[in-house]
Amino acid sequence: MEIKNRKLFKELIKKLTLELLDDEGLEEMTATGNVAGYSTPKAFGKTSKKKKKNLEKQTGYKFVSESVDDKDLKVITKLIRNVVGDILRDIWLKRTAWK
């Protein structure tokens, strides 16, 4: 079977999938069925001051308090509006190329 267009490609994939399922007697196909999950207890827990100091000494980095204020949220929303507006304007200008 020669693949000339999307329809023939889809038919080929269906045919090969059905052959695979019929030959091996598979009932279900999955890509993530045998993947083990992460085992990270206390991954998002609080860290004591003593442990933070030890980690800072070992790694050479310092812990940073990252909090988002109302002022930061206003700046972020303004940036998002500008970017989305630019995207919509570009789509509007290029709409004739879609036809």
Residues 78 and 71: beta-carbon distance below 8 Å: no
What's the N-to-C CA distance of the chain in angstroms? 32
Q: What's the whole-model pTM score?
A: 0.34
Measured CA to CA, the distance from residue 89 to residue 99 in angstroms comes to: 18
Measured CA to CA, the distance from residue 87 to residue 81 in angstroms comes to: 10
The pLDDT value recorded for residue 38 is 66
The pLDDT value recorded for residue 84 is 93
12: number of Cβ within 10 Å: 13
pLDDT tens across the length of the chain (99 residues): 566 778 888 888 888 887 777 765 556 656 666 666 666 666 677 778 898 889 899 988 888 877 888 888 999 999 999 999 999 888 888 877 766
The pLDDT value recorded for residue 33 is 61
Residues 48 and 56: beta-carbon distance below 8 Å: no
The pLDDT value recorded for residue 2 is 63
Residue 97's φ and ψ, nearest 5 degrees, are -75, -15
